[in-house]
Structure formats: structure tokens, C-alpha cells
Amino acid sequence: MTIFRGARIIVRNSILLVDTTLLNLNAGKNMYDAVISAAMSRTRPILITAASTMVGAVIILADPIFGGIAVSLLFGLFVSTVLTLVVVPLGCLSIGEETFRKVAQAQACPAG
């Protein structure tokens, strides 16, 4: 259960970061500015989500049965938060502005 909770947080944060980048591209920003702006605007919510989950895991550390799970959750959330804030923006930049513009345009005006 704990593994799924951590994975859900990571995926949600990454999706919101990419979605904010797409919204910035639709607003007319270039790729670099869109990624930086998205990372800046999403950093606080990502850190708050990770911190609140870590506080809950710290409480469980005292339990002899669930202490190991709490350590795993703490370490995993720390690493995944850092990777989300570093790797996802770098991945967006490495994919390229052309690909992101196509996705942003498709998202802005759905076929129908």
C-alpha cells in the first residue's frame, strides 16, 4: 500500500508539472521559459505534498513493525521529489519545443 501511495504522489506531481509546461506554451512562452515557470510555480506544492507525507511517515518510525516501511517511504519520497524537480524539467527540455508545441496545440483545440 505504501509503495502505491508514493508512486501516486510522484506521478501526480510529474503530470502537473508537464501540464503546467503545456499551459505556459499555449500562453505563448518559449520552451525554456515555460519549463522554468512551471517548475517555479509547482515547486512549493510538490514540496508541501512530500513534506506532509514525510511527517506522517516519521510518526510511524517508532513502531517496530512498520518502522522499515516508514524508512523506505521517507527515503523514496525524498529521492523522488528531487528527481521530479530536476529530471522532469530536464526531460521536457530534452524532448524539444517542437514536440511539446504539437502536444500543446492538440490539447488546446481537441478534434471533434
Torsion 17-22-27-28 (CA) sign? positive
Whether 104 contacts 26, CB under 8 Å: yes
All domains in the chain, ordered by first residue: 2-108 (1.20.1640.10)
Interval 9-36 mean pLDDT: 89
pLDDT greater than 80 at residue 110: no
Q: Which pLDDT does position 85 carry in this prediction?
A: 92
Q: Which residues contact 32 (CB under 8 A, 6 or more apart)?
A: 93
Separation CA 108–CA 110 (nearest Å): 6
- Inter-residue contact 47 to 8 (CB < 8 Å): no
Confidence of residue 2 (pLDDT cuts 50, 70, 90): low
The answer, yes or no, to whether residue 37 has pLDDT greater than 90, is: yes
**CA pair distance 48, 59, nearest whole angstrom:** 17
Instruction: Decide: 21 and 34 in contact? Cβ < 8 Å.
Output: yes
Average pLDDT over the chain reads 85
Report the predicted TM-score, pTM, of the whole model to 2 decimal places.
0.79
